[in-house]
Structure 1
Amino acid sequence: MGAQVRRAAAAALVGTAIEFYDFFIYGTAAALVFGTVFFPGLGTVGALLAAFSVYAVAFLARPLGAVVFGHFGDRLGRRATLVVSLLVMGVATAAVGVLPGFALWGWWSPVALVVLRVCQGVGLGGEWGGAALLLAEHAPAGRRGRYGAFLQLGPTVGFVLANGVFLLLQLALDERSFREWGWRVPFIASLGLVAVGLFVRLKVEESPLFRGGGRGQGTGKQRLPVVEVLREHRRTVLVGCGVITVGYALFYLTTTYALAYATTGLGVPSTVLLPMLLVGAVGMGAAGWTSARRSDGWGRRRTMLWATAFAALWSLVEFPLLETARRPLMFVALAGAMVVLGAVLGPVAAFLPELFPTRVRYTGAALTYNLGGVVGGALTPLVATRLTAAYGTAELVGWYVAALGVVAVLCLRLLPETCGAELAPVDGERRRTPVLGTDPAA
């Protein structure tokens, strides 16, 4: 069991890091070059809005990926489904790297970009939920948060890889070379990373809970997993979505919109901002690791409540600090937001799977996680761009995220504490195992 847990942790970390690398490089490229490559002639704000709109398309596709991959993951198994999701994401990402720009293909170019971005969203929609289940269903109840921390390190590693590659390219190439071909390198390089991820994932055994009867449990006629989730667990999905939204909003506001706003609106070079975000990402990983491990003793809900409340407060100071254009304060704004974000999302990989029974756990956890991305990840850069253009300052963007934080706190109060619960193979009461510091009534 110990060796399989370690393999599952490695597979979750490596695979998720690669999938999020693929997803993040689009966001960085959208902030830096996609406006001019695929949407020339729309003006600075128009091109940025167009690039972010295509960026948002993937978030709209992620719930679809959660339903499709969740269906097969709940029926056929977690392991095989995760292999397919990695392939879908990798091929779509590499295709973006060879896609001709508007100058060669005209409007067919952005149309193809939208199609590929949908494929990215579908692939990532199936990734996180399956990886979270692979860990949660292998790990012992008292250490589920600790092992889930490996999964939550995946986005951090993917972000560092994505932005590190872009930073190296910008330092090595002149502006013209970077805009003509340099930005394509991170996308094409995705194929090599996918090969590594497949090698690691194929060595992991199927989830023991699924092998033990998770598929098709229960009596009577079987329903589609998504139908069962929406009929019997609809409240959990909607409330869980409200919890996740603020994390998405804070992350993409900080890593994508803030990068675009500071480079185009404040005149700060991206070679100054990317190192700040890279250092912040390290802090995010450390905070997420600490938060996830702490949730095993203190409780998932309690840990996330404190972190979410602090995230709402931090969002009010992030953009005022950023707009000073003073580099030390900008670093505090960006790195601080990343650290707070890590604390918010650390326990999520254990928390969401614990809310659903085995036979629909993949669909339920993945759908909840990715629906939160529609509001938090897809809409936030668009809302932020509109607010800043209308009022001439990004300060109101912080109030928007703070409002999402308040909603998340209220939603957390509606969910049960799951720390120490045995993962339920069927619907019904969860059995609890005593965990030091856990208050079942919290």
Structure 2
Amino acid sequence: MSNQTEHGSSRSHSMKKIAVASMIGTLIEFYDFLIYGTAAALVFAKVFFPSLGQSSGTVLALATFGVAFVARPLGSVIFGHFGDRLGRKKTLVSTLLLMGLSTVAIGLLPTAESIGIWAPVALVTLRIVQGLAVGGEWAGAALLTSENATPASRGTFAVFPQLGASLAFSLASATYLIIALTISAESFLAWGWRIPFLASSALVVVGLMVRFTIEETIEFKKTVERKEIVRAPIAETFREQGGQVVLCALAMMPTFAFFYVGAVYMTTYATGTLGLGKTTVLAVGIAGGLSWAATTIVGSVWSDRFDRHDVILVGGLVSATVGLVLFPIIDIGTPLSFLIGIVLMLGSLGFAYGPMGALFPETFATRYRYSAAGISYSLGGVLGGAVIPLVASSVVTSFGSYALGLLLTATALVGCASVLALRRLKSAGGIKSLEAVEPLGSIAETLPIGNLSRRRP
């Protein structure tokens, strides 16, 4: 009895480390990724593109933000290859280290005033490196939890890596808010914007320490034991389940569209068009990120009680509705209306985003799962996170702000249709689900709401 208790305690401790490692890693990666977006919206036009003027410089600065989304799929292919061949743990350590080094380097970059054209060239290059790193991060973090969880608790475990993006947005907004409140606008422009980039080095050290202590996932170990490692995981992904990759990418597209329009474009829209103060916008960003985190927890837990596809579908319909009322609320132009709009916009995402941390791994076979889940996520990022925010300004200028809301609603409806198609494939036997695995510990010991994750009989 004593041995069994000791064994259970050890496994529970392992699951806690896995949950913490997955969340801390994604939080750091997305924090590093998102502070760039805030800086691009607030200062990069003046620091790296001063000769273009504020308007054109801001457009180009936001375009450099989108460059990372183009690099994401390549990062998913590269790190997915190693993740499927060498293991999840080693690959996740590499992505975190790469992101940390490139982020600190951005914080140390000379301005265009100092080195001319080489400043924006270096900025774009480092942004591409950031895109490569984050392209390999999400899938590995999702697999870290899903491949160690039982089917009955897989959705709830998925909440840990899924919380990374929302908490990182709140943290990035809070960091810039504190800086804006404590130094002058001139100092912020001169050197204050560098602080979040340089401070991320401390977070990366913590993340690496945590990730070095975890073990490889149960399912990857089984794949190695069965000698099922494949030579070209990405090639097999498209040969075996290319249709599911496309559907998963389209299902993820609305999350990226709503979030990056809210996180990046809305910063310039609020300060430029609505005339709201920078500190107001940053404070609202904190609230928006927390609302997204709250609904992510709810969506993840619900996906263990109900069919995951249904939970994501309901979340997509909520987002579609929010797209219709978003700009009529925000365009009232008050701080309160902006707060309500952003909280609705980002808060609607979690119901669908939370369960995807379990759905994507469940959709693909183990031998190429890292590559498949990663490329699906990254392609969704290109469609929703790069294309939609990039055209947002033109859409608003040409057709008005309500047209942008309609575009967001359209992406949500496309996501809903894709989820329905995935469910039909699963019913027809076209989905290669995760195996059942021995639990590493009770989710209730890790997340207070874990007792809600039991499926209905």
**Fold-level similarity (TM above 0.5):** yes
The equivalent residue for 1:90 is 100
- Out of 303, 318, 330, the residue aligned to residue 326 of structure 2 is 318
Task: Find out whether 1:233 has 2:241 as its counterpart.
Answer: yes
Deviation sequence 1:388-422 (CA, Å, 0-9, x none): 2334x322111111111111111111003879996
Deviation (angstroms), 1:217: 4.6
Q: Amino acid of the residue matched to residue 43 of structure 1?
A: G
**What percent of counterpart residues are identical?**
40
Pick the aligned partner of 2:312 from 295, 299, 304: 304
Does the 8 Å CA contact 1:238/1:368 hold for their aligned counterparts? yes
State the alpha-carbon separation in 1 of the partners of residues 423 and 226 from structure 2. 26
In structure 2, give the amino acid aligned to 1:354.
Answer: E
**Contact 1:252/1:381 (<8 A) preserved:** yes
Aligned equivalents of 1:345 and 1:225: distance in 2?
25
Amino acid at match of 1:239: L
SS at match of 2:153: helix
RMSD over aligned Cα, in angstroms?
Answer: 1.9
* Contact kept in structure 2, 1:215 and 1:359, CA below 8 Å: no
Alignment of 1:47-62 (within 5 A): 47-62=57-72
**TM-fit CA distance, 1:436:** 3.0
Which of 122, 125, 134 aligns to 1:112? It is 122
Q: Which moved more, 1:365-374 or 1:379-388?
A: 379-388
**Quick check: 1:4–1:138 contact (8 Å CA) kept in 2?**
no
SS in 1 for 2:123: helix
Instruction: Show the counterpart of 2:25.
Output: 15
Distance between the aligned counterparts of 2:123 and 2:315, measured in 1?
36
Aligned match of 2:446:
none
Partner of 1:405: 412
Taking the aligned partners of 2:414 and 2:133, their CA distance within structure 1 comes to: 28
Which residue of 2 is the match for residue 396 of structure 1? 403
Q: Which moved more, 1:78-87 or 1:308-317?
A: 308-317
What CA distance in whole angstroms lies between the structure 1 residues aligned with 2:225 and 2:410? 40
1:335 matched to 2:356 = no
Q: Which moved more, 1:114-123 or 1:256-265?
A: 256-265
Matches of 1:313 and 1:176, distance apart in 2: 41
Q: Tell me the distance in 2 between the aligned counterparts of 1:67 and 1:98.
A: 29
Q: Aligned residue for 1:277?
A: 285
The DSSP-based 3-state class of the residue aligned with 1:37 is: helix
1:45 CA displacement: 2.8
- Give the CA deviation at 1:97: 0.3
Q: What residue number does 2:394 align with?
A: 386
Instruction: Output one character per residue of 1:225-269: Cα deviation in whole Å (capped at 9) or x when no partner.
Output: 010011111100001100000010000111110111110122111
2:14 maps to 4
Q: Is the 8 A contact 1:217 1:359 kept in 2?
A: no
Q: Residue 423 of structure 1 aligns to a residue in which SS?
A: coil
- Secondary structure at the aligned position of 1:416 is classed as helix
1:214 shift after superposition? 4.7
1:416 counterpart letter in structure 2: R
**Length, aligned pairs only:** 426
Structure 1 residues 11-410: aligned runs within 5 Å: 11-214=21-224, 217-218=227-228, 222-391=230-399, 393-410=400-417
Report the residue type matching 2:383 in the other structure.
V
Shift of 1:279: 1.4
Matched residues in 2 for 1:381 and 1:35: separation? 17
Whether contact under 8 Å (2:276, 2:335) holds in the other structure is: no
2:441 matched residue in structure 1: none
Equivalent AA in structure 1 for residue 216 of structure 2: E
TM-score by length of 2: 0.90
| Partners of 1:24 and 1:188 in 2: CA distance | 14
Q: Does the residue aligned with 1:264 lie in a helix, a strand or coil?
A: helix
Specify whether residues 33 and 215 from structure 1 end up closer, same or farther in structure 2 by C-alpha distance, changes over 3 A only: farther
1:320 Cα deviation after fit = 2.2
Kept in 1, the 8 Å contact 2:363–2:432? The answer is: no
Matching residue's letter, 1:363: S
Please state if 1:436 is matched with 2:439. no
Output one character per residue of 1:321-368: Cα deviation in whole Å (capped at 9) or x when no partner.
112112221111011111101222111111101001111000000110
Provide the rounded CA distance (Å) in 1 between the counterparts of 2:330 and 2:406: 15
Determine the C-alpha separation between the residues in 2 that align with 1:215 and 1:261: 54
Change (3 A) 1:239 1:152: same
Alpha-carbon distance between aligned partners in 2 of 1:35 and 1:282, rounded to the nearest angstrom: 28
* Residue 430 of structure 2 corresponds to residue 423 of structure 1: no
Which sits farther off after the overlay, 303-312 or 150-159? Answer: 150-159
Q: Quick one: distance in 1 between partners of 2:433 and 2:46? A: 52
Gap runs ≥5 in structure 1: 426-434
How far, CA to CA, are the matches of 2:224 and 2:433 in structure 1?
14
